[in-house]
Structure 1
Amino acid sequence: MATNQEEVKLLGAIGSPFVCRVQIALKLKGIEYKFLEENMANKSELLLKYNPVYKKIPVFVHNEKPISESLLIIEYIDETWKQNPILPSDPYQRALARFWSNFIDDKIIAASIKAVHTVHDEKEREKNVEGTIEALQILENELKDKFFGGEEIGIVDIAAVYIAFWIPLIQEITGLQLLNAEKCPKLSKWSQEFLNHPIVKENMPPREPLFAYFKAHYESLFDSK
């Protein structure tokens, strides 16, 4: 446990899947922290001070030492507070967990975001939709247990929060079909199990305001050239 709430701070925004990852990890560990809400249209001096390179959220600050990038933050949290391990202790399994967590960022999140934003280029959009579906099917084949971490959630599950919560939002808003129960039955079942996990459920952003925000953002893309 953190002895003083002021020792642990998280700079973020409600609705960011990357911030949500860190919140789940902190809750799993039972770490108290101070959440500092950031407006990414008007970045605070604190954010620019703590993350001068990328100027992005999340930024995790422990005893005034800042760390950015959600997966690195989770590893730091796991190594600093030993209770309720998030990464496997076995070096090979640990390396695999890192590999699949990065795969989610590089192949699934990146392609799906491009698919959403390429509204004026149907060919490019289709390429990114196909890339997302293909990557989801590869990940589907890696799911051997209830969770990627086995019976308990681990770093790959936390990394995949975007798949469970944000991809269904994207599908409803855009009409793009990325994840369906027919092609990815295990991932679809995993999504429900994961979102129903008490700690995950407690740390999900409210759906309706997020839906309205993303819908407005998506519709604005059609007005831009």
Structure 2
Amino acid sequence: MGDEVKVFGFWGSPFSRRVELALLLKGVPYEYVEEDIFVVENKSPLLLQYNPVHKKVPVLLHNGKPIAESLVILEYIEETWKANPILPEDPYDKAMARFWAKFLDDKCLPAIRKAAFSPENEREEAAEEARACLKTLESALNGKRVMQEVTGEELLSVEKLPELFKWTEEFVSCSVVKQSLPPKDKVLGVVKARVAQTNAPK
């Protein structure tokens, strides 16, 4: 009997999507459990049981043992299933990969969220902050995106961030990545609704 692997996630969460992507890259079969993360009352008893501290996705359940927090889960996946390594072999390169993953989570994603969902009169300043984060991220790497489509703010372009733009294009062109991306029209609907809510008269 093989490993029992489940992922508790949300279709639009980049954090649960990265866990699924890691499992796909490793060739690990898993069962996916969709969670409603917007309504506390709708979160399943299992999610609350397996992640009682944060009560959020993603959670990886491996043979009955729960692991929470996407970066922690990614390390667990890497150490548990050795085939198709995700991280570099060299300890320094591995540490740098972890550093930039944390930078992305702690700095870039909050800045991008702020740029996407700020009121219209604050959006340009928030977009500049997000671009600065992405420029820093791009330095580690020596189209059109959903946010740009909704708000008109272009954070990632070939002119402004050529290396990051190229890396992103290559990343999303990978067949395994394409398979794990959420449907664009669904993401567009959620982002449009959030932007409209932010700009609605108070």
**What TM-score does the superposition give when structure 1 sets the normalisation length?**
0.82
Q: Which residue of 2 aligns with 1:201?
A: 178
Q: 1:18 aligns with which of 12, 15, 30?
A: 15
Write the distance in 1 (CA, Å) between the matches of 2:77 and 2:201. 41
CA contact (8 A) 2:6 2:32 kept: yes
Q: Give the aligned partner of residue 83 of structure 2.
A: 83
Q: Answer whether contact 2:124 2:153 (CA < 8 A) is retained.
A: no
Aligned residues: percent identity? 49
Write the distance in 2 (CA, Å) between the matches of 1:127 and 1:174.
13
Aligned positions of 1:2-151 closer than 5 A: 3-4=2-3, 7-40=4-37, 41=39, 42-119=42-119, 122=122, 125-144=123-142
Name the CA distance, whole Å, in 1 between partners of 2:44 and 2:63: 19
Match in the other structure for 1:186: 163
CA distance in 1, matches of 2:121, 2:172: 33
Q: Counterpart of 1:220 in structure 2: which amino acid?
A: Q
**Equivalent runs, 1:138-177 vs 2, <5 Å:** 138-144=136-142, 168-177=145-154
Amino acid at match of 1:188: F
Structure 1 alignment gaps of length 5 or more: 145-163
Q: Using the TM superposition, give the Cα deviation of residue 179 of structure 1 relative to its aligned residue in structure 2, in angstroms.
A: 1.2
Q: Return the alpha-carbon distance in structure 1 between the equivalents of residues 188 and 195 of structure 2.
A: 10
Deviation per CA, 1:165-186: give whole Å up to 9, x if none: xx81112111222111101111
Alpha-carbon offset, residue 82 of structure 1: 0.3
Structure 2: which amino acid aligns with 1:128? A
CA contact 1:107–1:131 (8 Å) conserved in 2: no
User: Residue type of the partner of 1:47?
Assistant: L
Structure 1 distance, partners of 2:67, 2:17, is: 16
One-letter identity of the residue aligned with 1:129 = A
Q: Which residue of 2 aligns with 1:160?
A: none
- Report the Cα offset of residue 16 of structure 1: 1.1
What number of residue pairs does the alignment pair up?
199
Amino acid at match of 2:10: A
Separation of aligned partners in 2, 1:119 and 1:19: 28
Secondary structure of residue in 2 paired with 1:177:
coil
Code of the aligned partner of 1:71: L
Deviation at 1:37, TM superposition (A): 0.6
Measured against aligned partners, the alpha-carbon deviations of 1:10-63 in whole angstroms (never above 9, x if no partner) come to: 001111111110111000000011100101112111111111111111111111
Which letter maps to 1:58? P
CA distance in 2, matches of 1:202, 1:13: 15
Amino acid at match of 1:177: E
CA distance in 1, matches of 2:101, 2:187: 24
Which residue in 2 is equivalent to 1:217? 194
Residue 127 of structure 1: CA displacement?
Answer: 3.9
Higher mean C-alpha deviation, range 73-82 or range 112-121: 112-121
Q: Where does the alignment leave 5 or more consecutive residues of structure 2 unmatched?
A: none
- Aligned counterparts of 2:131 and 2:12: Cα–Cα separation in 1: 23
SS at the partner of 1:205? coil
SS for the counterpart of 1:9 is strand
